[in-house]
Amino acid sequence: MNTKLIAKNPVAYHNYNIEDTFEAGIVLTGTEIKSIRAGKVNLKDSYAGFKNGECYAYSIHISPYEHGNIFNKDPLRDRKLLLSKREINKLFGKVKQDGYSLVPISLYFKGSFVKLELGLGKGKKLYDKRQDIAKKDAERRMQKALKAH
């Protein structure tokens, strides 16, 4: 199936060491789909969690559709994620015991369906972030030096 990227979380890999990824469906309304097709979605401060034995995505900002009038929903409402019971139990156990976090990484179309890529990872400390920045900077300098020669 063809996939088309809608939005990426720019800080997911910066703030977390992502160890595993999962693909989840997401429950949306008609006006939200139209707004997503227009590219008006932001994953920056989003996260995922559990409520009543189900997985939800929080703080995904989907702008209201311009022509949606009364059918528009709250842009930051909690959205249910569609995962199998086995995946939910596995993720719930990891998050509760091992100190992992669920982070939305990207939102994309898979065929005509909207899918959310969830990352299971641990938060980075400040010194880890500095090491990553230094490593990227060193790689950039090496590439620049190779191009110069």
Q: What is the DSSP letter of 144?
A: H
**How far is it, in rounded angstroms, from Cα 33 to Cα 40?**
10
Residue 137 located in a structural domain: no
With 80 as the cut, is the pLDDT of residue 122 above it?
Answer: yes
pLDDT in the model for residue 104: 92
- Checking if the pLDDT of 25 tops 90, the result is yes
The overall average pLDDT reported for the chain is 86
Q: Which of 115, 116, 114 lies closest to 104, judged by CA?
A: 116
**Can you tell me the mean pLDDT for 104-130?**
87
Bridge partners (DSSP) listed for residue 123? 16
* Residue 107, in any domain of the structure: yes
Task: Identify residue 86 by its one-letter amino acid code.
Answer: R
Residue 48 lies in a domain: yes
Q: Which domain holds residue 50?
A: 3-124
24 bridge partner residues: 116
Write down the pLDDT at residue 97: 80
Question: pLDDT digits over 60-81, tens only?
Answer: 888 888 776 776 777 778 889 9
CA–CA distances in Å: residue 104 to residues 2, 27, 84, 92, 139:
20, 15, 17, 15, 27
Q: Which one, of 102, 104, 41, 106, lies nearest residue 76 by Cα?
A: 41
- Tell me, yes or no, whether 23 lies in a domain: yes
* 29 is a domain residue: yes
Of 71 and 12, the one with more pLDDT: 12
Span 39-45, average pLDDT: 88
Q: Which of 118 and 124 is assigned the larger pLDDT?
A: 118
The domain tally of the chain equals 1
* In the block, residue with structure tokens 């920056």: 44
Q: Which two tokens stand for residue 8?
A: 């990426």
Q: Is residue 82 part of a domain?
A: yes
> Across residues 30-54, what is the average pLDDT?
88
Residue 44 counted as domain residue: yes
Give the model's confidence band at 58: pLDDT under 50 very low, under 70 low, under 90 confident, else very high: very high
Asked if residue 11 is part of any domain, the answer here is: yes
CATH code for position 65: 2.40.280.10
